Structure 1
């Protein structure tokens, strides 16, 4: 096997993963090729065959899944000016997106082609395994907060002027939640959040001013009290059951009444139609939207590099390394299905 010319292939939606040879990607226009050093796994990678046909019906097989990569740039395509060969980067591998649909751009491989618009140079002190926790969760949080058809909030900035309104992040210790808290703060908003009690201090360290336990019977009332007389700028609702609480809270508070749901199942879509009759707007987040929208470069290109450099943005949650080869990824996905809390499972590559 020539170094780098292999990938973890999925031959069919219900098939088994298999490590085998793959053509080495080339750097087309707007792309860079990354020598992958760390890969994080996500729930979208771990879904079963029938559900995979529903979530990504356009995906061609055999396919290479995976979205979260970090490593070194080894080739640069036409039109890419801010990244150079040798740069340490994190990137959102968009091979599963409808507009890309390419195994050369799937993250479960040794070399991957990544769109420069969703690629970020990382400081030397940020390890590859820590950087790999960010791309898809960051993109999903950014989509929910900033896309015009979601909450439509102002983009993050350095420096940022404080705003009086509040963003509610339900499920703040999740991968998406960690990024949503930090990005909302980077846009100037105060953040009220929920998480399990053991993760409260962690979520506060990311910038939330108040963190409530989502399991408490009076959590909705306590969130309303924490927001107080301020307006609710919007809610990012993450996880099963989050939308029920978000709808009740939004009805009781002044503000935009927008809820971006990161649990886009058919029930969520049905409830969004019913909510409109009560003046509420529920939208389902698709984490890959920034791949093609202005939000992608605004976050990955403009905001994140200086924010990582000066430490104001953290790569969170922390990585848990569970393997050191492409062949270890299926076991990482099995562990992910079993459940993780305030951490992200990562596989490293030599």
Structure 2
């Protein structure tokens, strides 16, 4: 009989329950899959939101389940058809539990089954803690920016695509100091777009090096006018929304822009009151089973762009903040994130 590692997980046994650490099956990889021994796990708002709201936010989830989306670690097994990655490789990967509803694909365990096309080599200069800040952020930012059903922008390149001075194309990306926002800023900038972002003033110096040409204070009472001025004279290719009320002022900017404009907002999260029958389309970035399937528009980012870009061009942001080690620390990590953090990625080491 073939021996396999003993797995443990932080289980969410029922809706709105606390996490409980216990044994979990070790699942061998299927076709185009690999198994990763997790070294670091990133925590996202959806983790504590799902625990708090249960069926109110993700009604399709079956319990008991193993949640979590962001992992970084070492490949310990590969399935048939996997050629790009090998046992022993350091990687980051998307844990696909939310769209797949398949517990072996959850992040909150020692061994996670990942899909090859949503896994990326980690170069030696990037730690596991830095790497696990990226997976879900790459999915949301990549889909919103480049998915044909969203903004449909050109893909990023390595080296970064030079900006066309004869056709200045700008995109507004809210929340540049967050994991999703900072990832979106880098991807759009490296695709050749002029990025205007928002953050609190204390984080301006964090967002600008990511590729933002201008950063506007999102607390400013004149934020709509500030953004209008920032994109004046540009072709405005759309906007990327994060946070309650953000889509409302972004819609005002799009509606009043003088010049070529795509009146489309890719919404990562946050409430808004933009009318459905208006000129501006606001579309929620939905992570469906198709998004993590083999035909995903994210595939070229994970397979081609990111492995090269992480060697100095793309910087994992925000900075990881390790709040503990071990599966029993994940509940505490979710509680820390729920209380609120700024420009930090909450991480648990394993």
Does TM, normalized by the shorter one, top 0.5? yes
2:112 aligned partner? 112
Contact 1:118 1:300 in 2 (8 A): yes
When structure 1 is superposed on structure 2, of 195-204 and 250-259 the one drifting more is 250-259
What displacement does 1:264 show?
5.7
Segments of 4+ in structure 1 off by > 2 A? 48-52, 286-290
Q: Does 1:148 align with 2:148?
A: yes
Q: Deviations over 1:8-64 (max 9, x none)?
A: 101111222100001112111111100000001001110155733133211111100
Which of residues 236, 241, 244 in structure 2 aligns to 1:240? 244
Q: Deviations over 1:75-113 (max 9, x none)?
A: 00111110000000000000121xx21111100000100
1:65 aligned partner? 67
How many aligned positions are there?
Answer: 339
Cα distance in 2, alignment partners of residues 4 and 216 from structure 1: 53
When structure 1 is superposed on structure 2, of 279-288 and 78-87 the one drifting more is 279-288
2:182 aligned partner? 178
Cα distance in 2, alignment partners of residues 219 and 104 from structure 1: 44
What displacement does 1:162 show?
1.8
2:44 aligned partner? 42
Which of residues 85, 95, 98 in structure 2 aligns to 1:96? 98
Q: Does 1:207 align with 2:211?
A: yes
Q: Does 1:260 align with 2:266?
A: yes
1:314 aligned partner? 315
- Distance change >3 Å, CA 217–CA 264, structure 1 → 2: closer
Q: Deviations over 1:129-152 (max 9, x none)?
A: 110100001111111101111111
2:328 aligned partner? 327
Cα distance in 2, alignment partners of residues 205 and 342 from structure 1: 14
Contact 2:49 2:57 in 1 (8 A): no
What displacement does 1:4 show?
4.5
Structure 2 gaps, min length 5: none
Cα distance in 1, alignment partners of residues 82 and 163 from structure 2: 34
Contact 1:120 1:301 in 2 (8 A): yes
1:187 aligned partner? 191
What displacement does 1:281 show?
1.2
Cα distance in 2, alignment partners of residues 285 and 264 from structure 1: 11
- Determine helix, strand or coil for the equivalent of 2:310: helix
Contact 1:319 1:343 in 2 (8 A): yes
- Distance change >3 Å, CA 195–CA 136, structure 1 → 2: same
What displacement does 1:296 show?
2.0
1:31 aligned partner? 33
- Distance change >3 Å, CA 127–CA 246, structure 1 → 2: same
Q: Does 1:282 align with 2:282?
A: yes
Could you state the TM-score of these two structures normalised by the residue count of structure 2? 0.93
Cα distance in 1, alignment partners of residues 244 and 270 from structure 2: 10
Which of residues 66, 74, 78 in structure 1 aligns to 2:76? 74
What displacement does 1:290 show?
3.5
